[in-house]
């Protein structure tokens, strides 16, 4: 006797619905930073470079020996470092404004890739468009094949309601993409 599998739960595909939240997008951006070497370097080297710059200005003569123009340079550098550190939050809010226009998404992941549909759009993306994926505690982040991961798709785990769906999605991704 063959077992009937409900739609969306076939062994070789998984279908789920969700709306992206700012937290999903922020987590996706953080996952991209983890996977993309240049993004990791930027988040580490800029603060370290600033600390070295500040030390080089202040150390020789102490804070009293620093001129006004140097304090201005230090302030500008501090603002740049702060912007780099809060950029994922700012980007997530901006991306969410666009994602919110899509509304509720229905995504299917199968042997051919991903397909998604909302009231506003539909698309099909084959596996060769993606080069790798990152798993975070709350999302899967699929990154484009270019080395900078310029495009990404975020799949929130909270949308996977059935027991074992996270493992099934992970297995589908592992079968087609490299995990970072």
The average pLDDT across 11-25 equals 90
Average pLDDT, the chain: 86
Q: Given CA atoms 162, 167, 173, 176 in this order, what sign does their dihedral have?
A: negative
Q: pTM higher than 0.85, yes or no?
A: no
Q: Given CA atoms 176, 170, 35, 122 in this order, what sign does their dihedral have?
A: positive
pLDDT in tens, 55-102: 888 888 788 888 888 888 889 888 888 887 888 778 878 888 888 888
pLDDT band at 171 (very low <50, low <70, confident <90, very high): very high
Residues in the chain, overall count: 180
């Amino acid at each position: 006797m063959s077992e009937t599998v409900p739609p969306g739960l076939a062994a070789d595909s998984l279908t789920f619905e969700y709306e992206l939240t700012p937290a999903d997008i922020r987590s996706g951006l953080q996952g991209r930073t983890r996977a993309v070497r240049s993004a990791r370097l930027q988040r580490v080297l800029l603060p370290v470079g600033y600390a070295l710059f500040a030390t080089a200005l202040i150390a020789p003569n102490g804070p009293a020996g620093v001129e006004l123009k140097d304090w201005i340079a230090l302030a500008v550098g501090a603002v740049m470092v702060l912007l780099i550190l809060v950029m994922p939050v700012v980007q997530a809010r901006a991306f969410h404004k666009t994602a919110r226009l899509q509304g509720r998404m229905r995504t299917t992941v199968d042997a051919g890739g991903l397909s998604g549909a909302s009231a506003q759009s539909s698309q099909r993306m084959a596996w060769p468009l993606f080069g790798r994926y990152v798993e975070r505690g709350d999302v899967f982040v699929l990154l484009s094949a270019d080395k900078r991961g310029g495009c990404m798709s975020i799949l929130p785990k909270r949308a996977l309601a059935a027991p074992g769906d996270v493992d099934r999605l992970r297995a589908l991704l592992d079968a087609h993409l490299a995990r970072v």
